[in-house]
Structure 1
Amino acid sequence: MLRPAVPSNEERRLEAIKKLDILDSLPEETYDSITVLASQICKTPIALISILDSNRNWFKSKVGTDVPQSDREISFCGHAILKPENLFEVPNTLTDERFKDNPLTFSENGGVRFYAGVPIKDDDGYAIGTLCVLDTKEHHLDESQKVALKALAKQVELLFEYRKKNKSLEKMKDQLDENNRVLREFASTVSHDLKMPLANMILTADVLKAKYSSKLDQEGVNYLTYLKHSGLTLSDYINGLLDHYSSGNINSEKPQEFFLNDMLEDIIDLLQIDQNCEINLPDNNLRIEGNSAALGQIFMNLISNSLKYNNSDKIVIEIDCTENREFFNFTISDNGIGIPKDKQKYIFDLFTIIADKDRQGKKGHGIGLSTVKKLVESLGGNIRISSEEGQGTLFEFSIKRPE
C-alpha cells in the first residue's frame, strides 16, 4: 500500500477547510441529492462527498454506506486531491500497486474494487475534498459519466462557496446587531438620564422668572425665556430619541380590534391644534385588527409634521384608508410646504431635517420620520412619499393584516 503524499500547500489547504466550517456538520439535502445523482449516473452503489482533514477523510454526504469517515492514510481521496484539476480513477484496486493491499480494498463489508473521484476546490483553488463514486467490483466510467461527475463536483464547489458567503453574512449581521444593541442602550440610557436634569432646568427657569422678573431688565427676562425654550427643545429631542429606539419593541403587543376614526380623533385631541386647520377623516370608520399603539404613533408623527411644516393660512389634512386581503393601506396628504426632491431620498434617514424651521420657528430634530419607517416595517408594510415644494406632501403606507 502506498500512503497518499501530503500536498505542498497543506497548511493553507487545512486553513481553507477551517474557514469553511463544515466538518462534523449535519446532513443537508442539497449535498445528499448530489451524491444520489452521482451514484445513479455512474451506476455505482456508493457515492461520497468527502473532506480531507489533517488525519481523517470525513464524509459530508454518503450514499450506500453508513461509515462516517476513514483514516486519511488509507483514503483513496488523499491520492485524488494531489492533482486538483484531474479526475482520479482506479478501475480495479487489486491490480493497482497503491491499493492492492489497502485495508479498504479488503473491508469486511465488501472491499473497494473501483474508485473515481473529482477534487473539490474552494474559490482559492485549494483541493479540500472530493466527490467520489465507489464499487465492490471492477468498473469503468464512460466519457459521459466522467463529464457528469465533474459537473456535479462543480455544484458542490458552488455550495461550499455559498456556505462561506452565508457564514460571512451571518457574522456581519451578528456584529451589526450587537453594535445596534449597544447603540440603542447607550442612546436610551443617555436620553433617560438627561430627562430629569432638563426638567429641573426648565422648572428653575420658570421659578426664577416668576420670583425675580421684577428685579431683572428685559434682556435678563429674555435670557430666562430663551433658557426655558432651549430646555423644551432639547426635551423634545430626547423624547424623540427614546421613541425611535423603543419603536422596535412596540410591535410585541398582541393584535387588537379598533376603529380607525376613533383612534384618529383621540390623536387630534391630544395634539390640541390651535391653528386654522381642517382634518378630513376617512368616510368609512374602518375596523382594524392590529397594533393600535404602533399605528397611533405613526399617525401622530405624520399629522404633527403636516401641522408643523405648513405655511398656509388654512391647514388642510386629508386621511384615507382602504383594505385588501393582505394589507391595510393608508394615505395622509397636506397642503404644506412640501419636500425638496433632493431630500426625498433621505427623508426617512435618522436626523434628516425637512426644513430649517417649522411653522413655529423651531428647528426639527430629524427623528420622527425615521421612527415612522421603523414602525411601518415592523408591522410588515412599507411607506413612500410624493411631494412638490409649495404644493404639499402625500405619504402612503401599509401594514400587514394579522394572519
Structure 2
Amino acid sequence: MSIEVGSRSETQRLLTLERYSLADGLSGREGTYYEDLDNLVVLAADVCRVPFAVINIITADQQHQIAARGIEASVCSREDSMCAQVFRYGHTVMVEDCLEDPRFRGNPFVTGEIAEVRFYASTPLITAEGDALGTLCVFDDSPGSITPQQSRSLEILATQIMDILNLQLRTRELSTALQELKRSNELLAEFAGRVSHDLQGPLTSIRGFAEMLEDDTAIPARSTSRKYLERIGASAGRMTAMIEELLAFARSNGTLRVQPVSLAATVRAVQDDLAAAISAAGARLEVEEFVGQADPTQLHTLLQNLLQNALNYRHPHRSPRVRISAGQSAEDRWCLKFEDNGIGIAPEDRQRVLEPLVRLESNAIAGTGLGLATCNRIAQAHGGFLELEETEGGGLTILACFGSGS
C-alpha cells in the first residue's frame, strides 16, 4: 500500500476511531451496514477456504469483533489480540503455523487458553489518511496458507469494508448536519419573526405619523416639509417591505405541508394581494390550471415574489404580460413556468441573482435582492430547483421545479 501507516500517531488513530464511532465496538453495531459487513466476512472465509473470519477493531485497550464467521463475535483485551500485534504493518500478514511464529506461539488464541489458531492471515483496514482501524482476519485451527490471488482478494474485501464504514460515517455526518440545519432554520425563523415584530411597530408608527402630517393643511402642498414627509413615508414603506421579505426568506426552508394545490387558485390569491400594483402597471396575466404537490403557503410566496418582480422590472416601452403554466416533468416532479416580457436578466447574472441579497449594479430599480433567492430556497425545500431563461421576444422565464420535498 502507498500509505505509510506507521506515520500516524496512536492519538490520531484513536481520534479517527471516535469519528467512525467504532471505539464502542459491538455496542455501536446497528443498521444495515453491519449486515453488509457480515456478508463480507462470509465471503472472506469462502475465498480463503477457511472456517473462520472476523473484522477486528482495535481500540486503546481492547479488540472488538464487529462481524464474524464461524465464531460468536466477542471482545478481548488488546494485549491478547493477535491482530493488535500486526495491524499497523500496512500490509497483509500470513502465518502458516502460529506455533512456529515467535510473535504468536505464546498468544492465548494459539495456546488453547482462548482458542487454538494455527493458520492466520489478516489485512489492515486503513483510512485514506493512513489510520489503521483494525483488520479483516481469516484463520483455521489447522496449519495452512493462501495463494497470492487469495491474499489480493482479502485486500479487496478490506477495501470494501472501509467503503461501508466510510458510508456509515458520511451518513451519520449528513444526518447530524441536517439536524443542525433544521435547528438553525428554526432559530432563524424564530429570530426573524421576533425582529420583524419589534421593527414593524415603530415603522407603523412612523408611517402613521407621516400620513397624519401629510393631511395637515397647515403644511403647504409644495413645501420642503411636505417633500420630507413623503420621503419619510416612502422610506418606512421600503423598510417594511424589506422586513417582510427577510421574514419570508428566513421561513422559506421551514417544515413543508405538501398537498395538492391548484395553480390557478393560488395565482388568483396572489392577484388579490397585488391588485393595486397590477392595475397601476396595466399588467395582463394568463394562467393555465394545474394541480401540483406543494406547500400552499410557500407556493403562494413564490408566485407573489415572481409576479412582484415582473411588475417591478417591467420593460419601459410595453405593458407587462405574464404567462403562468405548469406540467409534470417526471413521475415525482412537476415544473412551474413563469414567463414575463420585462427587461430580463443577462445570462452571466442569472445564477448570481439566486443568491441572497444580490442586486445587479446595472439595475436602478429598488429592491432587497431576496425575491429570487427566496423562490430558489422554496424550490430546493421541495426537492427541486430554479432555472432562469430568456423569454422569446424578450423578458425572463423562470422554471421552478418541485419534487417530493425534504
- Give TM-score scaled by structure 2 length: 0.84
In the other structure, the counterpart of 1:21 is 21
The answer to whether 1:381 aligns with 2:381 is no
Q: CA deviation at 1:239?
A: 0.8
Give the letter for the 1:211 counterpart: D
Q: Distance in 2 between matches of 1:145 and 1:401?
A: 46
**5+ residue gaps, structure 2:** 1-5
**5+ residue gaps, structure 1:** 1-5
Question: How much is the aligned-residue C-alpha RMSD, in angstroms?
Answer: 3.1
Identical aligned residues as a percent? 24
Check the 8 A contact 1:53/1:72 in 2, yes or no.
yes
The answer to whether 1:231 aligns with 2:236 is yes
Aligned length: 388
Give the letter for the 2:396 counterpart: T
Give the letter for the 2:357 counterpart: F
Q: Distance in 1 between matches of 2:208 and 2:57?
A: 71
Structure 2 CA distance for partners of 1:298 and 1:171, relative to 1, 3 Å: closer
Structure 2 CA distance for partners of 1:279 and 1:250, relative to 1, 3 Å: farther
Name which of structure 1's ranges 216-225 and 301-310 shifts more when overlaid on structure 2.
216-225
Give the letter for the 1:214 counterpart: I
3-state SS, counterpart of residue 237 of structure 2: helix
Check the 8 A contact 2:341/2:391 in 1, yes or no.
no
3-state SS, counterpart of residue 71 of structure 2: coil
Give the letter for the 1:152 counterpart: L
Q: Distance in 2 between matches of 1:287 and 1:342?
A: 33
Give the letter for the 1:337 counterpart: I
Structure 2 CA distance for partners of 1:180 and 1:156, relative to 1, 3 Å: same
Q: CA deviation at 1:86?
A: 3.7
Q: CA deviation at 1:12?
A: 4.0
User: After superposition, where does 1:69-80 map in structure 2 within 5 Å?
Assistant: 69-80=75-86
Q: Distance in 1 between matches of 2:336 and 2:130?
A: 54
Give the letter for the 2:212 counterpart: V
3-state SS, counterpart of residue 219 of structure 2: helix
In the other structure, the counterpart of 1:368 is 371
User: After superposition, where does 1:85-234 map in structure 2 within 5 Å?
Assistant: 85-107=90-112, 111-161=116-166, 179-211=184-216, 213-214=218-219, 218-234=223-239
Structure 2 CA distance for partners of 1:21 and 1:189, relative to 1, 3 Å: same
Q: CA deviation at 1:234?
A: 0.4
3-state SS, counterpart of residue 343 of structure 2: coil
In the other structure, the counterpart of 2:259 is 255
Q: Distance in 1 between matches of 2:178 and 2:247?
A: 24
Structure 2 CA distance for partners of 1:31 and 1:198, relative to 1, 3 Å: same
Q: Distance in 2 between matches of 1:395 and 1:10?
A: 55
Check the 8 A contact 1:250/1:293 in 2, yes or no.
no
Give the letter for the 2:92 counterpart: L
User: Which among 293, 306, 312 is matched to residue 297 of structure 2?
Assistant: 293
Deviations 1:266-296 (A, max 9, x none): 32233122232222222xx334554333322
Q: Distance in 1 between matches of 2:291 and 2:154?
A: 60
Deviations 1:307-328 (A, max 9, x none): 2211234222222233364443
The answer to whether 1:340 aligns with 2:346 is yes
Q: Distance in 2 between matches of 1:9 and 1:396?
A: 53
Deviations 1:61-105 (A, max 9, x none): 2111114222222221122235x1343233223344444443323
Name which of structure 1's ranges 292-301 and 383-392 shifts more when overlaid on structure 2.
383-392
Check the 8 A contact 1:93/1:105 in 2, yes or no.
yes
3-state SS, counterpart of residue 129 of structure 1: strand
- Give TM-score scaled by structure 1 length: 0.84
The answer to whether 1:305 aligns with 2:312 is no
Q: Distance in 2 between matches of 1:347 and 1:261?
A: 27
Q: Distance in 2 between matches of 1:322 and 1:171?
A: 35
3-state SS, counterpart of residue 332 of structure 1: strand
